[in-house]
């Protein structure tokens, strides 16, 4: 019987035939596709023809299509719908993929051909995009260790292989801890919880096979519990379990793994001649240096901390009025902040949530894309990997643009967080290839599913990434869509969040789940007025995480990351009732792979730009100004990594932004 992963997909839009793929198909398909890619690389490296852009750089672009096809399906289901078989396969594939990547980047014959094309680049008559692909290919090989020899070359391969194993272990340990813990609630324990939180707890209890409702460590369940439960003892129990993920001792403890990862990253950077891993990593980003990152974060830290400390004083008074003495604790902050929000803005999340139906917010995100970029969305009836998933065909002027898949609900088989990935990226070489893009979120189920305002913002954020993929219009896949500098990739996603706050968007799509009535004007005003509420807390927990990440990688790797984390937080004067958004043992952004290592700051770097970019719309004809939308698509969304990120922003805005727009956007005053 033919392995569906290795066959031509005679399906609508050549989507993966999820209804015919089984877990038993992955390993043989992976091995065959990996072997085929090795043969393709060898053929390029051993070619008897003089090296040219076509037979070397473009040949590399074409190589590995079969492997990409297998892995795009596997990593989609491994991240969003894992099971023991898939977790075992992930542990088996990771070191093999790392070894394969290391073999390619250290292939001397291949690098010699790339270097030959690079040396002759000025005489080859290359287009601007081809020059960019050549530069990135050459730079990638150099940074991958292609110029290393002998023992150093062998050691680099070992380091890459070990890091791949450790990153997989870190992810699976975190998932195991999140999946294993839950707290059963009696009917009386539900007192004070709004209906949506009760419904989510009951649904979670059913999934866990418990006798009744439960609190799990899914953010969409535990955060509302911490916001609304008047039971301080239960809030403390839940919070401590949430904080302990990856640090419970035993087989799933991530602390030693984090330490080994940091040591190996430092060694890798030193092998390549850099002073630190941060110096190595940031060289290719907009920020360029650790010093530039630290300057940005500290410019925001001071006003954020001042705001948080001022807010804490108010929350302590509220707590004391409840007869609770002693210091404000992390399990108290969200509860009293929610009470304060209700009092000061007369905004009750339980009353707000029925107006933020998942389906209506999806419609809103689509409608904004229609008005801005002329995109149309039509539901598709196609097999997908889980019953919760849904798909749409995306068109413009009757022409197919992309397929968009949404997987929105939390479940035990899905890793936490939210992300966007391309199961197939846009390209025109060697033939036109339309993207297949997926957004994965972790919202609580319900009938209908209701979102918090933060959830709705997450939905818009991930759809901003999806637009970056779908509107990509480049020739080569390696620079398509979100293949850009890490501190630039969050610009389109964070910028798109702003359209959720456009009053006319909420007025049209924020309709009550039961009555269908539009959100009352007074509530809409309160929602927008409270948009910056508790930004001291949100900014402090984020910036603390980013500064710890930077400290881990800027200099000698710490012998004990937990000690280093404590030192950094002490130096910052971290408010005692606020924790890092991601403590080290659960900091998957940084330790599941090195995508965001030394790079967690990038959300804020991009936010400096997104605040300034949305201001450009407001300065023009408003949020849906057609000329600004055209400029955004042409200069940023369609360009992928074909041009340096700084140049793309300059083309769009005419200048680079300062931190002022960000502070204003967060309602913080410079100190």
7 burial via Cβ count (<10 Å: 0-12, 13-18, 19+): exposed
Q: CA-based diameter of the chain, in Å?
A: 83
Q: From CA 61, how far away is CA 70, in angstroms rounded?
A: 17
- Banded pLDDT at 513 (limits 50, 70, 90): very high
Q: Identify the weakest region by mean pLDDT among 225-239, 641-655, 656-670.
A: 656-670
Q: Which residues contact 25 (CB under 8 A, 6 or more apart)?
A: 3, 4, 5
Find the mean pLDDT for residues 557-584. 98
What does the pLDDT read at residue 453? 92
Strand 419-424 relative to strand 399-409, pairing: unpaired
As a whole number, mean pLDDT of residues 383-410 equals 98
- The Cα–Cα gap between 74 and 95 comes to 15
Topology match between the domains 4-105+107-147 and 255-326+533-599+615-627+643-665: no
CB atoms < 10 A from the CB of 96, how many? 14
CA 82 – CA 90 distance, rounded (Å): 10
Percent of the chain with pLDDT over 70: 100
Q: Per the residue annotation, which of 129, 338, 462, 497 is the catalytic one?
A: 462
Euclidean distance between the first and the last CA atom of the chain, given in angstroms as a whole number: 68
Contact 497, 460 (CB under 8 A): yes
Phi, psi of 211 (to 5 degrees): -75, -20
Spatial CB neighbours of 617, under 8 Å, sequence gap ≥ 6: 623, 624, 625, 628
The pLDDT of residue 654 is above 60? yes
Q: What is the mean pLDDT of the chain?
A: 96
Give per-residue pLDDT as tens, 417-439: 999 999 999 999 999 999 999 99
Confidence of residue 658 (pLDDT cuts 50, 70, 90): confident
State how far the Cα of 634 lies from the Cα of 625, in Å rounded to an integer. 14
Q: What pLDDT is recorded for position 473?
A: 98
- Can you say whether the dihedral through the CA atoms of 491, 408, 525, 228 is positive or negative? negative
> Where are the alpha helices (H) located in 356-441, listed in sequence order?
358-373
Neighbours of 347 (CB within 10 A): 19
Q: Which of 442, 379, 457 is nearest to 407 (CA)?
A: 442
Q: What pLDDT, on the 0 to 100 scale, is given for residue 144? A: 95
Gyration radius (Cα) of the chain, Å: 25
- Report the distance separating Cα 38 and Cα 403, nearest Å: 30
462 has catalytic annotation:
yes
Average pLDDT over residues 276-287: 97
CATH hierarchy code of domain 4-105+107-147: 1.20.1050.40
Report pLDDT for 218.
92
Banded pLDDT at 669 (limits 50, 70, 90): confident
DSSP type of residue 635:
I
Neighbours of 272 (CB within 10 A): 18
Q: How confident is the model at residue 478 (pLDDT cuts 50, 70, 90)?
A: very high
CA atoms within 13 A on the CB side of 575: 29
pLDDT for 1: 76
Pairing of strands 436-443, 399-409: parallel
With beta carbons less than 8 A apart as the criterion, state whether 408 and 389 touch. Answer: no
C-alpha closest to that of 577 among 171, 131, 226: 226
What pLDDT sits at residue 660?
Answer: 87
Length of the chain: 671
Spatial CB neighbours of 432, under 8 Å, sequence gap ≥ 6: none
Confidence band of 123 (pLDDT split at 50, 70, 90): very high
Which CATH architecture group holds 255-326+533-599+615-627+643-665? Orthogonal Bundle (1.10)
CB-CB contact of 412 with 456 (8 Å)? no
* Domains of the chain by residue range: 4-105+107-147, 181-245, 255-326+533-599+615-627+643-665
Question: Which three-class secondary structure state does DSSP give residue 7?
Answer: coil
| 552-563: burial string, b at 16+ Cβ within 10 Å, e else | bbbbebbeebee
Percent of the chain scored above 90 by pLDDT? 94
Q: Is the pLDDT of residue 671 over 60?
A: no
Structure tokens at 624: 């849906």
**φ, ψ dihedrals at 144, nearest 5°:** -80, -5
pLDDT of residue 670: 62
Phi, then psi, of 541 in degrees rounded to 5? -65, -35
What is the pLDDT at residue 532?
Answer: 87
CB-based contact 26:5 (threshold 8 Å): yes
Instruction: Confirm if 506 and 544 have CB atoms less than 8 A apart.
Output: no
Cα–Cα dist 512/591, whole Å? 41
**Predicted local confidence at residue 75, as pLDDT:** 97
């Amino acid at each position: 019987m033919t392995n569906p992963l290795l066959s031509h997909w005679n399906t609508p839009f050549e989507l993966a035939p999820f209804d015919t793929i089984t877990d038993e198909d992955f390993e043989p398909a992976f091995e065959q596709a990996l072997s085929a890619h090795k043969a393709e690389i060898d053929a390029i490296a051993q070619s008897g023809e003089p090296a040219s852009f076509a037979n070397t750089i473009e040949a590399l672009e074409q190589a590995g299509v079969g492997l990409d096809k297998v892995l795009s399906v596997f990593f989609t289901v491994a991240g969003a719908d894992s099971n023991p078989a898939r977790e075992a396969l992930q542990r088996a594939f990771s070191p093999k993929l790392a070894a394969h990547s290391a073999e390619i980047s250290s292939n001397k014959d291949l690098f010699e051909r790339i270097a030959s094309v690079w040396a002759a680049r000025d005489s080859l008559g290359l287009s601007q995009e081809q020059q960019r692909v050549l530069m990135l290919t050459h730079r990638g090989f150099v940074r991958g260790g292609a110029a290393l020899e002998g023992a150093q070359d062998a050691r680099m391969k070992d380091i890459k292989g070990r890091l791949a194993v450790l990153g997989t272990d870190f992810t699976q340990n975190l998932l195991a801890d999140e999946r294993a813990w839950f707290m059963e609630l009696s009917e009386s324990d539900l007192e004070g919880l709004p209906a949506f939180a009760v419904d989510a707890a009951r649904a979670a209890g059913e999934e866990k096979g418990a006798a009744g409702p439960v609190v799990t460590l899914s953010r969409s369940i535990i955060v509302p519990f911490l916001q609304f439960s008047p039971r301080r003892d239960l809030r403390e129990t839940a919070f401590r379990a949430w904080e302990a993920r990856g640090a419970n001792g035993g087989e799933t403890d991530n602390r030693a793994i984090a330490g080994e990862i940091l040591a190996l990253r430092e060694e890798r950077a030193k092998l390549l001649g850099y002073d630190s891993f941060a110096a190595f990593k940031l060289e290719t980003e907009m920020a360029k240096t650790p010093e530039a990152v630290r300057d940005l974060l500290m410019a925001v830290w001071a006003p954020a901390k001042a705001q948080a400390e001022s807010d804490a004083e108010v929350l302590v008074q509220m707590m004391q009025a409840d007869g609770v003495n002693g210091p404000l604790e992390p399990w108290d902050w969200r509860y009293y902040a929610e009470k304060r929000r209700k009092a000061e803005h007369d905004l009750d999340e339980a009353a707000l949530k029925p107006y933020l139906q998942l389906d209506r917010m999806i419609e809103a995100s689509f409608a904004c894309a229609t008005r801005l970029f002329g995109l149309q969305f039509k539901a598709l009836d196609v097999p997908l990997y889980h019953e919760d998933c849904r798909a749409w065909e995306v068109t413009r002027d009757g022409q197919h643009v992309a397929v968009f898949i949404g997987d929105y609900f939390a479940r035990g088989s899905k890793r936490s967080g939210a992300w966007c990935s391309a199961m197939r990226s846009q390209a025109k070489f060697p033939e036109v290839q339309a993207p297949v893009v997926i957004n994965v979120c972790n919202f609580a189920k319900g009938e209908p599913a209701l979102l918090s305002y933060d959830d709705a913002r997450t939905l818009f954020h991930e759809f901003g990434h999806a637009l970056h993929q779908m509107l990509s219009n480049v020739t080569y896949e390696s620079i398509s869509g979100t293949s850009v500098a890490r501190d630039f990739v969050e610009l389109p996603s964070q910028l798109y969040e702003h359209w959720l706050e456009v009053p006319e968007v909420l007025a049209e799509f924020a309709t009550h789940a039961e009555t269908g009535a539009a959100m009352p004007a007074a509530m809409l005003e309160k929602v927008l007025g409270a948009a910056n509420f508790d930004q001291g807390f949100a900014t402090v927990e984020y910036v603390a995480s980013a500064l710890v990440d930077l400290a881990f990688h800027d200099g000698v790797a710490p012998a004990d990351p937990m000690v280093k984390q404590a030192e950094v937080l002490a130096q910052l004067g971290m408010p005692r009732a606020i924790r890092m958004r991601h403590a080290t043992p659960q900091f998957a952004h940084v330790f599941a792979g090195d995508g965001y290592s030394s790079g967690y700051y990038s959300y804020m770097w991009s936010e400096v730009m997104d605040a300034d970019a949305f201001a450009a719309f407001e300065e023009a004809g408003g949020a849906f100004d057609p000329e600004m939308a055209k400029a955004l698509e042409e200069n940023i969304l369609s360009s992928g990594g074909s041009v340096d990120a700084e140049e793309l922003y300059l083309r769009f805005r005419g200048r680079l932004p300062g931190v002022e727009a960000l502070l204003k956007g967060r309602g913080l005053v410079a100190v």
